[in-house]
Amino acid sequence: MVVIFLTCLIWAWADLSKTEEVGFSNAIINIDKTATPGLWVSFDNEPSVLINKIMLKGTASKIADLERKIREGSESLEFFLDAKQEAMTDSGKHLLDILRFLKKSSKIKQLGLTVESCEPETLDVQVIKLEKKSLTIKCIDENGATIKTESIEPPKINMLAREDWSGEQLVAYVLLSRADREQARQIAVSKTPYIKLAPGQTRNSNIPVKVKLPPTEKGLQEYNITSATIGFVFSANLVGKYDVELLNPADVATVNIKATAAAKKAYEDQPYQIILHILDEDKKDPGEKRKKVVYNFPEEFFRKNEIRLEGEPKEARFKLRPLSLAEPPPAGTN
């Protein structure tokens, strides 16, 4: 029995003393949003970033246990960045030493392993301070179009927003689904506003608002037109001298309207459903320009309020291209 016991001890010691170094891919670092509510922290406007490779070292049993749990889906190499702990509290770019960050993480200590190396070795972390600001509530639908409201209570809320926001940027959004809109025409609905910190990056308010929409207009229905034709109206001084390169045609050609069936058909029968006016001043800047388009609603139906735009007019992004002309001969030649 003594010999068997000693043999087991020797095998256990041998297993514990045997170490392995194994590479793992697709580890992830997430921003810990709860740790710094007064900051917006991101990796190039994203809330998380992948680590291509992380080399972990430990006993054979612990490495095998981690590999098994990852295969089963009960464990993952997921880490959380607390900007305050990393002394990243000033607005601007900060450099994160990933190896140092991983070595001291509670996840690695919990696994009983050590980090030997990783790829990449550093990452940029963007930090923007948030300040309490008064934000106007704006209701939108699933396509981002503005919804006309009867009342919003309260019409403004105080919320932490980016310190560099001002003017028209001071907006908190309320998203109303089709079901929300139908209900809100009967009775006010309670919704949670949110701000858009960056594309796909939002933060919710702690204060809900109540939204009431006007009753449905009799005979008007919602329509989504995705291939509206776009025409250009040139100043007389620019005719035949410039061409227009529209940079966001698909976005501009999508139109949300409310109309009667007859008004919708008349609008679609127009040679151009959307007009972009090109003025003399537009030629001054050769770079990209932005301008709101005009919707060419049939006058007869527009006067009778049988057709209207849902939301704000789209903004066209475009460049003016001079039409090719014969080049003048070099100076001093005939």
Is residue 312 domain-resident? yes
The helix-helix angle for 60-72 and 2-17 (nearest 10°) equals 70
- For residue 292, what are the domain limits? 221-322
Q: Could you tell me if residue 256 is inside a domain?
A: yes
Per-residue confidence (pLDDT) for residue 5, from 0 to 100: 55
Burial 59-68 (b: 16+ CB within 10 A, else e): beebbeebee
Cβ within 8 Å of residue 186, ≥6 positions away: none
Mean pLDDT of successive 10-residue segments in the chain (334 residues)? 58 61 90 88 91 92 91 91 92 94 92 92 93 94 84 95 91 92 90 90 92 79 92 90 92 93 94 94 87 93 84 91 62 46
Q: What is the pLDDT of residue 174?
A: 96
Q: Look at residue 125 and tell me if it is in a domain.
A: no
Q: What is the CATH number of the domain that holds 318?
A: 2.170.120.30
Domains contained in the chain, number: 3
CA-CA distances (angstroms) from residue 241 to 82, 244, 278, 320? 57, 10, 12, 10
Same domain flag for 149 and 238: no
Question: Do residue 102 and residue 164 come from a single domain?
Answer: no
- Give the whole-angstrom CA distance, residue 156 versus residue 307: 30
The span from the CA of 175 to the CA of 204, in Å, is 12
- Residues 225 and 205 placed together within one structural domain of the fold: no
| Whole-structure pTM value | 0.58
- Residue 220's pLDDT is what? 84
Domain boundary among 85, 120, 155: 120
Residues 231 and 204 reside in one and the same domain: no
In a domain, 13, yes or no: no
Tell me whether residue 191 is in a domain: yes
DSSP annotation string for 129-174? EEEEEEEEEEEE-TTS-B---SEEESSEEEEEEETT--GGG-EEEE
Whether 3 maps to a domain, the answer reads no
Determine, yes or no, domain membership for 97: yes
Q: Is residue 2 part of a domain?
A: no
Write down the pLDDT at residue 146.
Answer: 84
Query: Pick from 236, 233, 235: which is nearest to 316 by CA?
Result: 233
Tell me which of 63, 93, 120 is where a domain ends.
120
The pLDDT value recorded for residue 327 is: 45
Last-in-domain residue among 212, 232, 252: 212
Sign of the torsion angle spanned by Cα atoms 29, 31, 34, 35 = positive
